[in-house]
Structure 1
Amino acid sequence: MKNTTCFFVSDLHGHLVRYHKLFDLIVRERPLALFLGGDLLPSGLLNIFSGSQVYHDFIEQVLHQGFARLQHELEEDYPQVYIILGNDDGKFAEQQIIALAEQGVWHYAHNRHFSLGDFLVCGYAYVPPTPFTLKDWERYDVSRYVDPGCTSPEEGYYSALISDDAKRWSTIQHDLQQLTVSKPLEKAIFLFHAPPYDTNLDRAALDGNMFDNAPLDVHVGSIAIRRFIQQGQPHLTLHGHIHESARLTGDWRDQIGKTWCFSAAHDGPELAVIAFDVARPAQAVRRLL
């Protein structure tokens, strides 16, 4: 009988040891599906200033060749692979990721829908404004408000062309409304990079930090994503982005209504893998390898 376990990883940031551990784990345990939740590549801002060669070498030599070898070795046991990028991944890499998806090594899931058995898989990569200067995968959340200490999408650097109107007016809230029009969500799995606001998954190490004499909010997730989960109650949501949150809160998962929410972000040297059965998300486990 085919394995029904799925793996979720995020925020590998180009670390080769983590990828090697992931590939070895897939060979040993042969999951049904693998979800990759963004921030997968070497630093995006570094590549803006140093040229794109580091990126293209990594995507071809590590990601594509690594998954192609697995596909050849595992044959019918090769998992369905769903991938999005994250806010530290330059958007100019997106076209190469899409081109390789057309070769069948993975599904590029950002703003797209796929079927996994009886379940719907959707992906969304954007995060609310951060203090960082690479803005390829940042959008306003529910309005043009920016948290103190953060930089708006209308400032910073972009590695791919984007219109001034898109920088100024696009919001995560609107995007999610468009992505899920006429889609039933009770059996939907959402692959996000950003976590939902005010949960175990979005706790940043900002205790005691001030900006203009005001304390910074230690919860830095997306209000739009939290509202989306509260209102739509998808089956399962997967998140990354805030590396230290599980260490600070003591948990890598949370529940919003009936929806289970998992984070695979991790601030230690290990590879963090969430292993779950889509039919029984409450029994998911986190493994540090």
Structure 2
Amino acid sequence: MPLFKRRGNNESVGGKNKTRILFTSDLHGSETAFRKFLNAGVMQKVDCLIIGGDIAGKSLVPIINKGNGYFVVEDREISGSSLNNVVAEFRKSGAYYAILSKAEHEELINNKKKLDELFHEKMKENLRSWVEIAQEKLKERRIPVFINLGNDDPSFLFQVIEESELMRKSEGNIIDIGGHEMISFGYVNPTPWRTPREMSEDELMYNLRGMTEKLERPEKAIFNFHAPPYNTSLDNAPLLSADLKPVVKGGDVVMTHVGSKAIRKIIEEYQPMLGIHGHIHESRAFDKIGRTVIINPGSEFNQGILHSTLILLEDGRVKGNQFIVG
């Protein structure tokens, strides 16, 4: 089980009566969506920003340098004057890129270890650039950014987060958010894609119970768990066939619930004040389990669109929440 500890008073954010939070998830490398998130936080005068996981991009695109000012990108030739536009689109969609010679490209195709190493370096490089962007955007108000990793994020990215002053690791810590304890966990129940951070429902329950037992007032807590609870408005996703294609009946995609049963059970048992979740991009919604308000802002990272939720805590309860998309 991950080491879990309580943060000191210097990690407390917000006031005891009113706290404004902006929450997002599943940015998947999109610098455009990340910048919008920071800007929205400043405009909304929030006390803290929370990213619920899946910050890493999903793809690495080679840009092959042909020489004489020409490049090949995804089987199309472009001039050097068009390169900046192509790179801007990659930053918007969350794709990583590497400018390579033809020989370097062929070597990567034939050497999976080197390809993986380059992919990991690009993940670190991109996240470090986000650290710099956050330092610049938030330097006046010093708004803390609490970051969780999701199921698609290699755990080594925590090391990059811990290099920052404003961007702080939430998983493994109890964070004071306006007098409310927040616990975070980025592992999810098994998926068809066998992503880096998955656990069985039994393993999830073991870890979740270990965290919740350390809470002083779980009924006032915030559960920042990447996977949404099972059988809610937050966990609807297309039903997949054996070859991982959406099942279509009568011209419509068949939807099914794919959230975590362990997370639902732990929410039912402890009834925290708030559950903030992500993971299922197409299931933007808020719902309730008993008295617990649960929220998934959804994601359209590949379009550079920010999906986030402004949450107001007041007098020990969720006073209101509003989806912010743009």
Q: What range describes the TM-score normalised by the shorter chain of this pair? A: 0.7 to 0.9
Q: Which residue of 1 is the match for residue 47 of structure 2?
A: 32
DSSP 3-state at the match of 1:226 = helix
CA offsets 1:219-253 (integer angstroms, 9 cap, x no match): 1110000000000001101000001123xxxxx11
Q: Where in structure 2 are the equivalents of 1:124-203 lying within 5 Å?
A: 124-135=185-196, 137-142=197-202, 171-183=203-215, 184-203=217-236
Identity %: 31
In structure 2, distance between residues paired with 1:225 and 1:282: 23
8 Å contact from structure 1 (residues 8, 36) kept in 2: yes
8 Å contact from structure 2 (residues 131, 167) kept in 1: no
The one-letter amino acid paired with 1:138 is: E
Whether 2:34 is the aligned partner of 1:19: answer yes
DSSP 3-state at the match of 2:275 = strand
State TM-score, norm by structure 1.
Answer: 0.77
8 Å contact from structure 1 (residues 12, 19) kept in 2: yes
* Cα drift, residue 26 of structure 1: 2.4
Note the aligned Cα RMSD (angstroms): 2.5
Aligned residues: 244
DSSP 3-state at the match of 1:195 = coil
* Cα drift, residue 99 of structure 1: 3.6
The one-letter amino acid paired with 1:260 is: V
DSSP 3-state at the match of 1:281 = strand
* Cα drift, residue 217 of structure 1: 7.9
8 Å contact from structure 2 (residues 313, 320) kept in 1: no
* Cα drift, residue 255 of structure 1: 0.1
CA offsets 1:92-111 (integer angstroms, 9 cap, x no match): 222222343xxx31331112
State TM-score, norm by structure 2.
Answer: 0.69
Aligned with residue 6 of structure 1, among 10, 14, 21: 21
* Cα drift, residue 54 of structure 1: 0.5
In structure 2, distance between residues paired with 1:202 and 1:124: 17
The one-letter amino acid paired with 2:179 is: D
Q: Which residue of 1 is the match for residue 132 of structure 2?
A: 65
Aligned with residue 274 of structure 1, among 301, 305, 309: 309
* Cα drift, residue 264 of structure 1: 1.8
* Cα drift, residue 11 of structure 1: 0.6
CA offsets 1:154-190 (integer angstroms, 9 cap, x no match): xxxxxxxxxxxxxxxxx00000111122422011011
CA offsets 1:243-288 (integer angstroms, 9 cap, x no match): 1123xxxxx1110001000002224732111001122525211011
In structure 2, distance between residues paired with 1:87 and 1:52: 15
In structure 1, distance between residues paired with 2:161 and 2:233: 31
In structure 1, distance between residues paired with 2:234 and 2:185: 17
8 Å contact from structure 2 (residues 300, 307) kept in 1: no
In structure 2, distance between residues paired with 1:194 and 1:52: 24
In structure 1, distance between residues paired with 2:241 and 2:49: 39
Query: Which of the pair has the greater relative contact order for Cα pairs under 8 Å at 6+ separation?
Result: 2
Q: Which residue of 2 is the match for residue 265 of structure 1?
A: 298
Runs of 4+ in 1 over 4 A off after TM superposition: 44-47, 209-212
Which sits farther off after the overlay, 43-52 or 3-12? 43-52
Whether 2:136 is the aligned partner of 1:88: answer no
8 Å contact from structure 1 (residues 44, 90) kept in 2: no
Q: Which residue of 2 is the match for residue 52 of structure 1?
A: 120
In structure 2, distance between residues paired with 1:275 and 1:89: 24
In structure 2, distance between residues paired with 1:22 and 1:97: 17
CA offsets 1:11-45 (integer angstroms, 9 cap, x no match): 11111211121122223222111110001121289
* Cα drift, residue 114 of structure 1: 1.3
DSSP 3-state at the match of 2:134 = helix
Whichever of the two has the greater Rg, that structure is 2
DSSP 3-state at the match of 1:65 = helix
Structure 2 gap segments, 5+ residues each: 1-13, 61-95, 97-114, 248-253
The one-letter amino acid paired with 1:239 is: H
In structure 2, distance between residues paired with 1:282 and 1:225: 23
CA offsets 1:180-232 (integer angstroms, 9 cap, x no match): 224220110111110000000011111xx4449xx998111100000000000
Q: Which residue of 2 is the match for residue 105 of structure 1?
A: 166
DSSP 3-state at the match of 2:266 = helix
In structure 2, distance between residues paired with 1:113 and 1:56: 25
